[in-house]
Amino acid sequence: MSIPLDGRAVAAKIKEELIRDVAVFAGAHGHAPGLAVVIVGEDPASKVYVKRISANCNEVGVRFERIALPAGASAVDLEAALVRLSEDPRTTGVIVQMPLPKHLSAKIVTDTLSPAKDVDGLCPVNAGLLMMGQPCFVPSTPLGGLELLKRYEIPLKGAEAVVVGRSPVVGKPMANLLLNEHATVTICHSRTRDLAAETRRADVLVAAIGKAKMITADMIKPGAAVVDFGINPTEAGIVGDVDFEAAKEVAGWITPVPGGTGPMTNVMLLRNTLTAAKRLVGEE
């Protein structure tokens, strides 16, 4: 039986650390770090996610601001909001809830938002710095996955890591994070010829493909650490990209879904916001 990588327990521990560190920052500088979330339109899932971010901010002492733009907002409207937030000294981190309405390009965000406040790591500057192995802001979902591996002291240096999925917000940054930890990294995707042959080599297997239970037990190396970023609604509930019940009999460590990588996302976003605040005042 594998050891579960318990994202809920680790996230709770990180929250305790953030409560302490945010209080220290606020005491030293007279203001708390501030996170602004821009939401365009009335997407129900986005509204639920933003509400959760707000609750977590309140819990750790980060100032929260919600900027709601109508679904018909223009590119000029979105740019104006991002310029204001980029220039506001009280706002130390900014994210824009995706997806945007079809008439708005995500390029507006990446071209306009200050990289110093891009706490979700979407801007090309931060993506480039990650590839160069330099300090930067990394998307909070893969950053949370790496943090789980570190907190459970799973060896990464020299490990064979296989990342299944190449999205710019999970797969690619996760591959770069593992590479920066001195793992040997293979990225697989929909054109990979023999996916199972690749995944069976992995000491660390990352699933970020968005297909329910696509990674089966026979695709996993015995004793491997399996990190599942999948969130797939089914009639039986939310499941991951990995067939968890079968995989847990083979893997050495594995993230459950739900309760694995999911709880880590928001706390890593808040940690990035605190880091941004420290950099803006010259502490880091």
Domain boundaries, the chain: 30-114, 141-262
- The whole-number pLDDT of residue 26 equals 97
Could you give the CA distance from residue 284 to residue 271 in angstroms, rounded to a whole number? 13
Could you give the CA distance from residue 171 to residue 177 in angstroms, rounded to a whole number? 10
Cross-strand pairs, 204: 161, 225
pLDDT in tens, the chain (284 residues): 899 999 999 999 999 999 999 999 999 999 999 999 999 998 888 889 999 999 999 999 999 999 999 999 999 999 999 999 999 999 999 999 998 999 999 999 999 999 999 999 999 999 999 999 999 999 999 999 999 999 999 999 999 999 999 999 999 999 999 999 999 999 999 999 999 999 999 999 999 999 999 999 999 999 999 999 999 999 989 999 999 999 999 999 999 999 999 999 999 999 999 999 999 999 87
- The whole-number pLDDT of residue 276 equals 98
- The whole-number pLDDT of residue 36 equals 98
CATH architecture of 30-114: 3-Layer(aba) Sandwich (3.40)
Could you give the CA distance from residue 202 to residue 206 in angstroms, rounded to a whole number? 9
To 10 degrees, the CA torsion angle through 52, 174, 216, 252? Answer: -90
Pair 232, 238: CB distance under 8 Å: yes
Strand 204-207: give its sheet, edge to edge.
3-4, 253-254, 225-228, 204-207, 160-164, 184-188
- The whole-number pLDDT of residue 168 equals 94
- The whole-number pLDDT of residue 221 equals 98
One-letter amino acid for residue 91 of the chain:
T
Residue 102: partners with Cβ closer than 8 Å, 6 or more residues away: none
Asked whether the domain spanning 141-262 has the same topology as the one spanning 30-114, the reply is yes
- The whole-number pLDDT of residue 46 equals 87
Helix (H) or strand (E) holding 185: strand 184-188
Best CATH choice for the domain 141-262 from the list 3.40.50.280, 3.40.50.720, 3.40.225.10, 1.20.210.10: 3.40.50.720
Could you give the CA distance from residue 32 to residue 12 in angstroms, rounded to a whole number? 20
Angstrom CA distances, 93 to 36, 124, 204, 258, 270, stand at: 6, 16, 31, 27, 9
